[in-house]
Amino acid sequence: MHDISDYLTADHHHCDDLFAEAENAVANDDWQTAMTQFKAFEAATLLHFTREENILFPAFEERTGISHGPTAVMRSEHVEIRETLQGMTDALASRNADVYLGLAETLLMLLRQHNTKEEQILYPMADQALADNAGVMVLEMEALTA
């Protein structure tokens, strides 16, 4: 898997799976599992953002000269997602299923829209612009750990 889009799309799916497991645990009042799964989801999501913000976005912007386009939009959405994650952390700490599930619904909508834009617009652009360096970039992203 040397395409940037393949690698990061697979990472999206991994995060989605962890998110679903956390949400199911909250719905079942299994707070210990919910906390464990949510922390795994949050760590995976933040690592994904780090991969993009520290490796992909700067390389894309340097290669294309586009710094106020799709990467700027993605960065601003990352901020909104981080804020929602914090609210979900707070809801878990207080074992407030209604607040958590409400924020989870909001986050699901944010992530679907965000991931669609990345997978259909940004990642294909990055694959094209960075094709000569994609394999190295994927290795750099894989080397980052939580």
Domain CATH code at residue 92 = 1.20.120.520
Residue 145: predicted pLDDT: 81
Residue 30: predicted pLDDT: 95
Question: Which domain does 27 fall in, by range?
Answer: 4-143
pLDDT class of 142 with cuts at 50, 70, 90: very high
pTM: 0.94
The answer on pLDDT for 1 being more than 70 is no
| pLDDT mean over 102-125 | 96
Task: Give the count of beta carbons closer than 10 Å to the beta carbon of residue 112.
Answer: 11
Task: Give the count of beta carbons closer than 10 Å to the beta carbon of residue 142.
Answer: 12
- Angular region, 95: left φ>0, alpha ψ -120 to 50, beta rest: left
Helix, coil or strand: residue 101: helix
Q: Please tell me the distance from the alpha carbon of residue 88 to that of residue 136, in angstroms, as a whole number.
A: 35
Specify the residue for token string 């750990």: 145
One-letter amino acid for residue 76 of the chain: S
Dihedral (Cα; 8, 10, 15, 18), 10-degree rounding: -170
Q: Please tell me the distance from the alpha carbon of residue 22 to that of residue 136, in angstroms, as a whole number.
A: 33
pLDDT class of 2 with cuts at 50, 70, 90: low
Specify the residue for token string 């990055």: 126
The answer on pLDDT for 73 being more than 90 is yes
Dihedral (Cα; 84, 87, 89, 90), 10-degree rounding: 180
Answer for the pair 107, 83: CB distance below 8 angstroms, yes or no. no
Q: Please tell me the distance from the alpha carbon of residue 46 to that of residue 40, in angstroms, as a whole number.
A: 10
Q: Please report, rounded to a whole number, the percentage of residues in the chain having pLDDT higher than 90.
A: 95
Which of 15, 33, 11, 13 is closest to 24 using CA atoms?
Answer: 33
Q: How many domains does the chain contain in total?
A: 1
pLDDT class of 46 with cuts at 50, 70, 90: very high
